Structure 1
Amino acid sequence: MKPASPYGALLDANPARRSEVAVLGASTHYWEYGPADADTVLVLVHGFRGDHHGLEAVCAHIRGIRIISPDLPAFGSSEPLEGYVHDIDGYARWLEAFVEQLGLSGRAYILGHSFGSIVVSAALARGLNTPKLILVNPIAAPALAGPNGMLSRITLWFYQAARALPLAIGSSMLSNWLVVRVMSLAMVKTKDPELRRWVHQQHHAHFSSYADRDSLLEAFEASIGSDVSMYAEQITVPTLLIGARNDPISPVPAQERVHTLFADSQLAIFDDVGHLIHYERPREAAELIVRFLGAGTVAEPRS
């Protein structure tokens, strides 16, 4: 039986509106939450192999802000980029063009989670104009040089092998139930059995919604070859970093170091959670976000 979302009632009270727009020659699908005429607009960029569903629990808690949550190119419902590699530069160019296409340049606040934290940081370093930046579970150090460097290399070899094999075999490897479950078990930290089941279900439902093996490998190589520290010193806008003490991808010392590289940043570190703040602690994240933006409210829990 499919586990019910613990945030379903809140999301039902704040339903999404789906749209699409052509960006750099390809269709980007995006979802909007909150009032369409709100003065405050927040654009979200999700993590690697996910889609907009990953940040829905955060959206469910926020009221009074127009939130725009696209699927990254080649993930979810969005088409792959046309004429661009799916690397950090390609995704940064896409984000600039997406914000511009919606007429929000210089007005929209930007939030990136995990891989999205690298994308949005690179976009700002390239010149994307935003009043404030929010990074949730920021990738604060290179994956290949960190404590999980060997695991990152093994995963890279796995992706490379899956691309080299015949399509049916390679695709089956990448979307294999056991592979997805192992990843999910490594990330989830909550002891709540219902929440754990729901997080695993979310990963199984949305972790394999990618366009093709080539774009997936390009994005994975980008995710392990770049990090926020490469761009932080070029970012001058006020920045909120929301990290976690048990994050297996970004250790606390790396989070604290990247915090010092920004010209103007705040660092909040949650205890008893890892790389899934957006699933396990969305209400607390929403509270930090609305306080930092000085706009919106956090909805009361609904049964």
Structure 2
Amino acid sequence: MVEPCIELESGRTRYRLDGPHEAPAVVFVPGATLPMFVWDGLADTIADAGHRVLRYDLIGRGGSAAPRIAYDANAFDAQLTELLDRVLPGRPVHLVSLAFGALIAARFAEARPERVASLTYMAPDGFGVEMSAAVRLLRYPLIGEALLAIAGKAMLLNRLPDYSDRAEVVKALREKFEPHVSAPGFRRAVLSSLRHMPIHDAGDLYRRSGERGVPTLVLWGRNDRVTPLPDRERLRAAMPSADLQAFEDTGHLPHAEDPAEVAAALTEFLRVAEV
């Protein structure tokens, strides 16, 4: 299907709505690079289970606009807030987020806890990862721009095997992602996001969000090489009240590798949160 776009002050946004109109709303927030197709399968299962499901492309990604702005917390928060005001007005929502998207969901929940029925973080960013020399160079002005212009497509595509040890998962990601890598403004948006978002240290953000009392679930693959599962003490310090479910033999995208178990865990969590 062709997803519609909506014109927002923060930029044109591509989105998709599925499931019964009056059902509890679940919003899927993607990560730093992959558009909303990253939720294919899980989002459909949640919609089929009787939820109103919203997926969307972050600004600078997929079918959304890529304005020349600082891609910081304010920009992503404005996009999510405007989108919900337009397509799910006046309704509390369950936020389900992946990696970089967890930073966006946590910021939204911290500022507007009354609008959030629950939070689910899948492999959330913000716990520090080992950066390659190339990624460290991206953080420097001019050098980062030049590096992305020369080798950005290869760098982004070469990361995909780290998402999963399963060849079929990586192959499907590449086929869906490759058409987006050369889109105007995409690499610029990713670079700006890397420089402006707390992808390596978001412990304080998660703690503040957790203090709002929103039910929180953390889903993580034990073999995640992109955002490795931190030690229990560090995770509990940032998310003391969260329920952690770790999945064996899965990587960065447990919902693509173990779809039945992940869908069951999320469905049960949403059911309890609705009570």
TM-score (norm 2): 0.83
- Residue in 1 that maps onto 2:188: 214
What is the alpha-carbon distance in structure 2 between the residues aligned to residue 274 and residue 242 of structure 1? 11
- Residue in 2 that maps onto 1:55: 39
Are the aligned partners of 1:195 and 1:280 in contact in 2 as well (CA < 8 Å)?
A: yes
- Residue in 1 that maps onto 2:112: 127
Are the aligned partners of 1:48 and 1:223 in contact in 2 as well (CA < 8 Å)?
A: no
**Percent identity over the alignment?**
20
- Residue in 1 that maps onto 2:146: 164
| 2:160 matches 1:174 | no
How many residue pairs are counted as aligned between the two chains? 264
| 2:246 matches 1:262 | no
Letter in 2 for 1:24: E
1:215-250: per-residue Cα shift (whole Å, max 9, x none)?
A: 221112245645442312222200010012112243
1:239 pairs with 213, 216, 234, which one? 216
Offset, 1:288: 1.2
What is the alpha-carbon distance in structure 1 between the residues aligned to residue 146 and residue 150 of structure 2? 13
- Residue in 1 that maps onto 2:265: 288
- Residue in 2 that maps onto 1:201: 175
1:165-218: per-residue Cα shift (whole Å, max 9, x none)?
A: 7xxxx5452123xx344211222123xx44443244334344555634432211
What is the alpha-carbon distance in structure 2 between the residues aligned to residue 269 and residue 46 of structure 1? 20
SS at match of 2:71: coil
Instruction: In structure 2, list runs of 5 or more residues that go unmatched.
Output: none
What is the alpha-carbon distance in structure 1 between the residues aligned to residue 45 and residue 151 of structure 2? 36
| 2:171 matches 1:189 | no
- Residue in 2 that maps onto 1:299: none
Are the aligned partners of 1:73 and 1:79 in contact in 2 as well (CA < 8 Å)?
A: yes
- Residue in 1 that maps onto 2:96: 111
Instruction: In structure 1, list runs of 5 or more residues that go unmatched.
Output: 1-15, 296-303
- Cα distance 1:210–1:75, how it changes in 2: closer, same or farther (>3 A)? farther
- Cα distance 1:261–1:213, how it changes in 2: closer, same or farther (>3 A)? closer
Letter in 2 for 1:109: H
- Residue in 1 that maps onto 2:128: 142
What is the alpha-carbon distance in structure 1 between the residues aligned to residue 219 and residue 52 of structure 2? 21
What is the alpha-carbon distance in structure 2 between the residues aligned to residue 28 and residue 256 of structure 1? 38
Offset, 1:140: 4.3
What is the alpha-carbon distance in structure 2 between the residues aligned to residue 138 and residue 25 of structure 1? 24
What is the alpha-carbon distance in structure 2 between the residues aligned to residue 210 and residue 231 of structure 1? 31
- Cα distance 1:204–1:80, how it changes in 2: closer, same or farther (>3 A)? closer
Letter in 2 for 1:219: S
| 2:6 matches 1:24 | no
- Cα distance 1:196–1:72, how it changes in 2: closer, same or farther (>3 A)? closer
1:27-77: per-residue Cα shift (whole Å, max 9, x none)?
A: 111012222x14211111101111111111212323111110010011111
SS at match of 1:231: helix
Letter in 2 for 1:238: P
| 2:74 matches 1:96 | no
Structure scoring higher RCO (CA < 8 A, sep ≥ 6) equals: 1
- Cα distance 1:195–1:248, how it changes in 2: closer, same or farther (>3 A)? closer
- Cα distance 1:229–1:81, how it changes in 2: closer, same or farther (>3 A)? farther
Offset, 1:110: 0.8
- Cα distance 1:256–1:281, how it changes in 2: closer, same or farther (>3 A)? farther
- Cα distance 1:107–1:225, how it changes in 2: closer, same or farther (>3 A)? closer
